[in-house]
Amino acid sequence: MDEGDLIKQLQEQNKQLKLENELLKARIIELEARLAQYENAHTPPSLRRGRNRKNQIDNKGKPGQKIGHKGITRPSTVPDCQKEVTLDQCPYCGTELESPFKIESKIIEEIPEPQPVMIIEFKIAHYKCPSCRKEVVAKDANCPREGKFGNNTIAQATLLKYVDRLPHRKIQDTLRRLHGLKIIHLQYSI
């Protein structure tokens, strides 16, 4: 082989080695990225498994809605009442204040305080019909035929049991905490 052929052969071999080197470098980068998902101590657990890091790199890691997405917000509520929050004197120096230069509106949604238990005594009148001589008893829709609990109490306990799936002990605790109602042996009263 002469010197010119040897140079061509070495140049071609050099090109092949450079190409192979570029492919191997790309493969190393890919494998290091995959390995970083599992071994990097600074990567949060949510990114370690199941996430495709290529997608994060493609969209440049911008979180949130994409441009052009129509947002959805919670509808505004209409207040049931208004309260004015004012000051007559400066809390720092005690000087009397004039009219406010700005009034800010802030609407909040609040759950009312739990109402205490109403204890109702029904005085049920019994009559004797003068015509047929039978006993007639007056009725009220809010007075249950049996038991010591009203319709609303029974309805609340039933909802807690079957909708919220609370055990008897937690139903007792909830009614005591919210309304001050002490129920004993709940399993016999529902």
pLDDT per residue over 49-102, tens digit each? 654 555 545 556 678 888 888 878 878 888 888 999 999 999 999 999 999 999
How does pLDDT run across 123-145, given as a tens digit for each residue?
A: 999 999 999 999 999 999 888 88
The dihedral region occupied by 114, where left means phi > 0, alpha psi between -120 and 50, and beta the remainder, is beta
End-of-domain residue from the set 58, 76, 105: 58
* Residue length of the chain: 190
Indicate whether 133 belongs to any domain.
yes
Q: DSSP letter at 175?
A: H
End-of-domain residue from the set 58, 74, 100: 58
How does pLDDT run across 157-167, given as a tens digit for each residue?
A: 999 999 999 99
Parent domain of 51: 3-58
Our count of domains for the chain comes to 2
Chain-wide mean pLDDT for the chain?
A: 84
The single-letter code of the amino acid at 155 is A
Q: Which two tokens stand for residue 160?
A: 């807690």
More confident residue, 175 or 55: 175
Q: Which two tokens stand for residue 43?
A: 């990567």
Q: How many CB atoms lie within 10 A of CB 36?
A: 14
Indicate whether 101 belongs to any domain.
no
Indicate whether 28 belongs to any domain.
yes
